Structure 1
Amino acid sequence: MSQPTVDPQPSRWPPRLVQAMGGDAVPDEKGTSLWAGALQRMRRNPTAILGAVIVLGFVLVALLAPVLAPYEPASTEWIAMVTPSDVPGPFPGHPLGLDPFGSDLLTQLLYGARQSLIIGVVSTGLGLLVGALLGGVAGAFGGWVDTVVMRVVDILLSIPSLLLAVSVAAVLGRNPLAIMIAIAAAQVPIFARLLRGSMLAQRGQDYVLAASSLGLRRRTVVMSHVLPNSLGPVIVQATLTLATSIIEVAALSYLGLGAPNPAVAEWGRMLVKGQERLQSEPHLTLLPGLCIAVTALGFTLFGEALREALDPKARR
């Protein structure tokens, strides 16, 4: 009769069994949370690192613009040096030259980052808040509430986002608050449908059935379990939407729906004024365009890397 084989590697035995046989107990391995595991995977992802570096650089430039900028924004003390046919390029004290309004170009670019960050973050936050409220109500109650809310969201989705933003901005007037509300209105249906779909998927999980079987109230199950587990995709989408918000801020300014003061530092307005001198001074258009493109690229890379790190299918 053959003897039962014994695993020669005690490290794979249960800790209590090892200790009962007189050996040293092997400590249990601690699991990692979803976000901690995602952070570990992002640290090994070159794309995530590149996106994080760009985003961090953009945020630091926007926050430290008063420190980094050599002059006051929208200063026109060098307007006499600008002629209809010539805008001075780089010269001592102005490493990037002047803009068509007689302001230091480097200063305008730095403060343009601050304007884009403030409007982009606030508009994305407003869109996330309203969209999450609508999607959360639809996903939590279901039934006719879900039907009514989703039909309203479908109507908003049927309108192109930029067209919706332009319409809202045209109605509310030319001011930063109007731009924030306009961009947020275009983002509401995206967040609403995403959170609602995520909550519907979570409602079918076994832990929801177990919690309901234990007698927990529906509100407790939704607020304590379903909603927190449904926010991951929404947070990832908010990161990606920041890139779109920065582009839409520039687009609305390009279309003349930005702040009424033409000397205010906005990358979109700088594109408009630089376009008039594209042949003679192309850097007036290329520099703000490059700032918009690199910033949007950074948020996109970071958001895509975060989405992959949180996606169970991508980790297989």
Structure 2
Amino acid sequence: MSANIPDPNLLPDGAPVTGTASAAVTEPAGKAPKKDAGDTRHSDRGTSIWGEAFQRLRRSPMAISGAIIIFLFILVAIFAPILAPYPGEATPGMRLVTPTNIPGIGTPGYPLGLDNFGGDVVSKLIWGARSSLLVGVISTCIGLVGGLFLGALAGGFGGWIDTVIMRIVDILLSVPNLLMAVSIAAIAGQSPFAVMIAIGAAQIPVFARLLRSSMLQQRGADYILAAQTLGLGRGKITMSHLLPNALGPVIVQATLALATAVIDAAALSFLGLGGGVPQTAEWGRMLTVAQNFLSSAPQLAFLPGICIAITALGFTLLGESLREALDPKARKR
């Protein structure tokens, strides 16, 4: 009598085994099914340097605080015509101001009081944010573009080009930034555009030397040697490979330079090199006018000074956080 041996090609109900069911039956117990080559839902992907830096910034209270300050500063500057009760040079409270009395904080209709011209302090602070933002961004862009050009030439080509450019940069770096900016602004004339040129020109040597140093560090990297092995020219390697990978420290410096630009713009306006009239809504100009009323109306100097300090603090916090996030030693911790 023969034993009933089940046919492996038939299911218990007698139906034939299909390909899918067969694979399920013949798969060894305890072994996980193979992952489809096209299924990338669970694949591990590497993180770029900038992606990792962004993740570190999201967890940094200092970076978040700086970003909030900068965001509010930009919003106030952009929407100044909507937020400000009066135009920047308007003097709506002129009739309330006397040589011996300047209405202070809490004056009806003027929450932060009036200045000696009868201008609304709130409106001038708001319009001053727009002025400082324009000067800071444009002057930093001028310095960044000039520094990138000189730094790329020196770091990418080397030789006598590097020597000549770096000696010029060394001479410029020997002069303090503010002193150089004052000299250029005095020559270019008293106007906001002259202030932008002066501050931007003073920042060019810093950006140039920083980019050149970063490019020299990257020159011996494996990807550069591989590009040279493939026969790529020096210009192609510099513009397509070397320069993009050397921009990290320069971007960090640009963020920090914005804080310096805001302070320098206020300093030049304080010295009377920013152009405009005494009623101009600019934080540095407000400080210039307020020094004659420190005893009777100290808020005229205190309020714009606080605005300058907070704005510079925001750019500094974000810049320092970005520097730490891109630091290779910090990424290893």
TM-score (norm 1): 0.91
Aligned equivalents of 2:244 and 2:141: distance in 1? 18
Q: Number of residue pairs matched?
A: 296
Deviation at 1:252, TM superposition (A): 0.3
Counterpart of 1:61, as a letter, is: V
Structure 1's consecutive aligned runs of 4 or more residues displaced over 4 angstroms after TM superposition are none
Partner of 2:58: 43
- 1:64 paired with 2:74, answer no
Aligned equivalents of 2:261 and 2:146: distance in 1? 16
Residues 21-170 of structure 1 mapped to structure 2, 5 A cutoff: 23-25=33-35, 27-89=42-104, 90-170=106-186
Aligned equivalents of 1:192 and 1:84: distance in 2? 51
Aligned equivalents of 1:117 and 1:247: distance in 2? 11
Counterpart of 1:42, as a letter, is: L
Secondary structure of 2:46's counterpart equals: coil
- 1:300 paired with 2:316, answer yes
Partner of 1:261: 277
RMSD (Å), alpha carbons: 1.2
Aligned equivalents of 1:184 and 1:215: distance in 2? 38
Deviation at 1:33, TM superposition (A): 1.6
Partner of 1:178: 194
Aligned equivalents of 1:100 and 1:128: distance in 2? 39
Moved more, 287-296 or 213-222: 213-222
Partner of 1:14: none
Aligned equivalents of 1:215 and 1:72: distance in 2? 61
Aligned equivalents of 1:22 and 1:284: distance in 2? 74
Counterpart of 2:59, as a letter, is: R
**1:9-42 Cα deviation digits (max 9, x unpaired):** xxxxxxxxxxxx7534394311122211111110
Aligned equivalents of 1:147 and 1:240: distance in 2? 27
Aligned equivalents of 1:82 and 1:216: distance in 2? 72
Q: State, as a whole percentage, how many aligned pairs show the same letter.
A: 60
Aligned equivalents of 2:275 and 2:222: distance in 1? 52
Secondary structure of 2:117's counterpart equals: coil
Partner of 2:25: none
Could you tell me whether the CA contact under 8 Å between 2:157 and 2:234 is conserved in 1? no
Aligned equivalents of 2:72 and 2:276: distance in 1? 29
Counterpart of 1:88, as a letter, is: P
Partner of 2:251: 235
Aligned equivalents of 2:221 and 2:162: distance in 1? 19
Could you tell me whether the CA contact under 8 Å between 2:278 and 2:289 is conserved in 1? no
**1:127-168 Cα deviation digits (max 9, x unpaired):** 000011000000111000000000111111011110000000
Structure 2, unaligned runs of 5 or more: 1-30
Structure 1, unaligned runs of 5 or more: 1-20
TM-score (norm 2): 0.87
